A and B are shown apart, each in its own frame.
Chain A
Amino acid sequence: MKQQEEINDNSRRDFIKTAAIAGIATAACGSLACSCSSKKPVQPVGEKVKLLSPEGEIVEIDSAYLNHQEHMAIVSKLEAREGMAGKKFVMVVDLSRCKNARKCVSACQKWHYRPQETEWLTVKLMKDSDKAAPYWFPKQCFHCDNPPCVKVCPVDATFKRQDGLVLIDNERCIGCKFCMAACPYSTRVFNWTDPVMPEAIANQQYSPETGIPARVGTVEKCDFCPDRSREGLLPPCVEACPNGVFYFGDENEDTVSNGDETVSFTQLIKDRAAYRFQEELGTKPRVYYLPPKDRQFPVERGYENLPDQLKARFRDVMEGGAE
């Protein structure tokens, strides 16, 4: 329950933030309507928010009414397969700002109700060669434009959408794991046991866009949170990062935002000499990396305060020096 509240809390903040940035009033009104019909009475918290109603008037409401929106964007299976027309989602990851705070990891796990061991988004410590300086490397699904995982699926359970996303339909997946063998980036995870979730979540209607509820014997992975995009929200990892490492946006609109600033995608990748991981594999990732030049934090900052168990992951690189 506590987790649930935290998520509500988080998303409330997220919502307001994004509403301010993007000015998406209609989504807000959708949620307004929703909160009125919800069974549990909501206590006002006294924090007022200004919104634009569908009639074009500014209304002021208590923010407590705003968020009963958990994974509400249940679209039809067909829509979930086609994706959002006119969009091309991209992500830019600024490696010079990452200090392995791991807020993205936990935000992702919370949003998707995944346990600690399941990391759709993970942070690696890369060291490209003996003499090279190590750097933190957050990695999620690259939503490749030429996705090897999609090519091999025998039942079309994982598919590529027009908005660039690669999603999985866990109601169709037969669990052959071929896609896991085919993804060169070890992105996908399998539900080896019956996943543990709050009951309300387990009973929720499934959508490939939310990935909830997870199911035993099927594959899952980072989905770029299209349900949040439909609401005009940024993915939780983007919002959770204290250092603004992740920029998420639409290539067609040529804007990406890390929650604090919204910038031109082409300009950003040009100015900062962005690259895509392992371009030579020909998978055409939709995630761009900005090289770890002029770093904001020494790499040790992401190591020293880690709990031992996590430290162990990186010990070789941090203490052993060369591989």
Chain B
Amino acid sequence: MELNQYQKDIFEKQKPVIETYGKKTWGWTIFFLLWILVGGYALYLQVADGHIVTGMRDNVVWGLYIANFIFFIGISYAGAVISGLLHILHVEWRKPIIRIAEIITVIATMIGPVFILLCVGRLDRLHHLFLYPRLQSPITWDVLAITTYFTGSVIFLYLALIKDFAIYRDAKLNIPKWKQKLYSILAIGYRGTPSQKRHIKISTDLMAIMIIPLAIIVHSVLSWIFGMTLRPGWHSSIFGPYFVLAAIYSGTGVLIMAMWVYRKMYKLNSLLTDQHFVYLGYIMMVLGAAYGYFTFSEYLTAWFGSAKWDNEVIEKLFTLEYYGGWFLFTNIAGILLPILVVAIPFTRKPGLITIASFFMVIALWVKRYLIIVPTLESTLLPMQDTRPEYIKYSATWVEWALTFAGIATFFLLFTLLSKFVTIIPISEFGDKEKTAAGTTASVKEN
């Protein structure tokens, strides 16, 4: 594969990253693996002793795990919607960031479902889902939607990678044989012929269009696991769009954070420019405003109507002794902060935008928790139970260990992938290197 000057520059910068696996990287890898090991032990306990080792009980039947599930599927939107949408709209500045976004998508879509499996009491019977599937159950919808979505995201990522694999294959990199071989297999004989180019372009365009409705379906279906029940705080018609929006929003936040880390780690300032942060910041701000609007309408109507059962949940969220503090945090850090940081020119800086994203992502995780737990703690009939763990949910170390194991897996897979493919795609700049280079340059000047 012939590379033009601009591509060569980008490649040179990233070559050491994929050629080596340095001490530092090993350190992190081992650190993540240790976390996963702890999670593995927790999982062993949960399977051996039953779900009694978790904080879940008959009233609060779901807890941290489900919150993590929604969270991970949520951040998977980074790639699906952001990169899909920007691709369709031919936004040039997307090029350096799409790979990060798509990798986030694939990894998060892999990890999310694991958390729903952790809620399942009989992992040995998972095949029943396929032996006796029942179409009317939202869980079946979820199984179908997530598998399709995952397949779609993998294809989308892979399509964009084929050209790069061909580049790595031909570059005579200083890498072990197996890796060389793997690149050449994965490049599936791509040589950059016009017909090959055309095929990849058509497929990528198609996937970009398909991945967006797929993503929307996935999160809507997910929200309907809650929306289809008769419970207060869940049984709401805006739940589908609300979840979808929150997902894109948190996905954008994670994307900004990932960009910042990579820029810092590999000194990619010329590729991941300040302007990228600002653009993504704008997207985040708009989404934040829309998310705030949804939140406001959701809780205003429940509070104003104040049906008895609804009110129980609302009271828990609005009272400081219960979840009031956390609810306030989700609204301040999850809505106000990102909007303000981006809106005020003085704070519209990569560092601050990243910090705002960080808090926003945490706030959105907390928000998922607040959607699940207070509702389950509000039963229609008086609980009249004397066992504290049945009245109020609190997660046990097992659940936390598995949560952190999930996060560690995310980082581990990200590290591994970033050692295998260049985080900034090289071939993307190939066809229109002038415009691409020009845009990036002009972006830089801005």
Contact = CB atoms under 8 A, between A and B. Distances in A.
A154 B139 contact: yes
Interface in B379-397: 379-387
B15 interface: no
A182 B381 contact: no
A297 interface: no
Interface stretch (B130-138, B201-209, B252-260, B276-284): B130-138
B121 A176 contact: yes
A270 interface: no
Nearest to B131: A155
A193 interface: yes
Contact of B230 (A148, A174, A218, A310): A148
Interface stretch (B29-37, B48-56, B90-98): B48-56
Contacts of B52: 192-193
A152 B228 contact: yes
A186 B230 CA distance: 12
Given A177-B62, A184-B231, A190-B121, A172 B128 contact: yes
Contacts of B225: 178
A54 B245 CA distance: 70
B268 to A, nearest CB: 43
Contact of B139 (A148, A176, A219, A310): A176
B122 interface: yes
Interface string B361-378: 000000000000000100
A156 interface: yes
B125 interface: yes
A190 B61 contact: yes
A315 to B, nearest CB: 9
A193 B119 CA distance: 14
Name the interface size band of chain A: 35 or more
B386 A313 contact: yes
A151 B380 contact: no
B331 interface: no
Interface string A163-200: 00000000011111110111011101111111000000
A216 interface: yes
Contacts of B379: 186
Contact of B229 (A124, A125, A148, A172): A148
A312 B61 CA distance: 23
Q: Among B131, B225, B381, find the residue whose CB has the most chain A CB atoms closer than 10 A.
A: B381
Nearest to B130: A155
User: Which label, helix, strand, loop or mixed, suits the secondary structure of the B interface?
Assistant: loop
A184 B384 CA distance: 16
Q: Among A139, A157, A191, A192, find the residue whose CB has the most chain B CB atoms closer than 10 A.
A: A192
Contact of A152 (B120, B138, B376, B382): B138
Q: Among B120, B131, B137, B225, find the residue whose CB has the most chain A CB atoms closer than 10 A.
A: B137
A174 B128 contact: yes
B62 A190 contact: no
B381 A139 contact: yes
B382 A154 contact: no
A66 B250 CA distance: 67
A154 B134 contact: yes
Interface in A94-129: 117, 124-126
Contacts of B321: none
Contact of A156 (B51, B61, B132, B385): B132
Interface string A287-323: 0000000000000000000000110111001000000
A278 interface: yes
A19 interface: no
A281 interface: yes
A180 B229 contact: no
A182 B229 contact: yes
Q: Among A125, A157, A217, A281, find the residue whose CB has the most chain B CB atoms closer than 10 A.
A: A217
A175 B231 contact: no
A153 interface: yes
Given A124-B384, A182-B229, A194-B50, A155 B128 contact: yes
A173 B143 CA distance: 16
Contacts of B136: 151
B431 interface: no
A176 B137 CA distance: 12
B126 interface: yes
A192 B57 contact: yes
A174 B382 contact: no
A13 B31 CA distance: 66
8 contacts: A117-B387, A125-B382, A148-B229, A153-B134, A155-B134, A190-B61, A310-B386, A317-B382
Given A184-B380, A185-B380, 10 more contacts: A124-B382, A125-B382, A154-B133, A172-B132, A176-B120, A177-B61, A181-B61, A184-B231, A186-B381, A217-B50
